[in-house]
């Protein structure tokens, strides 16, 4: 975990508490690094076996025990470090997927369908050639389901209808 990782995640609407920064870059850095090294970086979520995903759990647990780190922050850090394997699981994605507590599993199942992956790939803008398919999906979900001003602006520009009332 580096300062660049924390900065990148802060651009995804995460505000870091000083204690979390000290833990992730200082006191827990060695433990985080060791746990992260056990998670493969060359496997896509849809191809991942349970054995590929098992090393994520200890790091997930450590992150959630870190001062001021919740589900959204932990998932955004993991997505930053393992963009092919770990999806973002913030409130917009969790509600859009519709099975709280099973978001990763639902996305994994969806993405095992080559047609679904092809449809997501069609959304990729030329400027995102290096982005993982999971990141393209995350952005698409955010644009379609977020109530943020920025998402609303992007929807209007693209002619996408707003989310249904009462849903993100």
| CA 158-162-168 angle, 5° bins | 125
**pLDDT tens track for 13-23:** 888 989 999 99
pLDDT at 162: 80
- Could you give the percent of the chain with pLDDT greater than 90? 72
The answer to whether 146 and 162 are in contact (CB under 8 A) is: no
Three-state SS at 126: helix
**pLDDT tens track for 66-92:** 989 999 999 999 999 999 999 998 899
| Joined tokens for residue 100 | 């709280």
**pLDDT tens track for 92-123:** 999 999 998 899 999 999 999 999 999 999 99
CB atoms within 10 A of CB 23: 22
Every domain of the chain and the residues it spans: 1-86, 87-168
pLDDT at 166: 52
| Joined tokens for residue 15 | 């505000």
């Amino acid at each position: 975990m580096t300062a660049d990782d924390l900065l990148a995640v802060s651009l995804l609407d995460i505000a870091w508490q000083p204690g979390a920064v000290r833990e992730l870059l200082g006191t827990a850095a060695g433990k985080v690094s060791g746990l992260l090294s056990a998670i493969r970086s060359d496997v896509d979520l849809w191809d991942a076996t349970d054995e590929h995903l098992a090393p994520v759990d200890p790091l997930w647990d450590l992150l959630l025990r870190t001062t001021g780190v919740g589900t959204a922050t932990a998932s955004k850090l993991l997505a930053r470090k393992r963009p092919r394997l770990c999806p973002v699981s913030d409130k917009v994605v969790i509600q859009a997927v519709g099975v709280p507590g099973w978001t990763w599993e639902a996305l994994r199942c969806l993405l095992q369908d080559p047609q679904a992956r092809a449809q997501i790939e069609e959304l990729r803008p030329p400027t995102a050639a290096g982005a993982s398919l999971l990141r393209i999906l995350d952005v698409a979900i955010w644009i379609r389901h977020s109530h943020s001003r920025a998402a609303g602006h992007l929807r209007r520009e693209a002619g996408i209808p707003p989310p249904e009332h009462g849903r993100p």
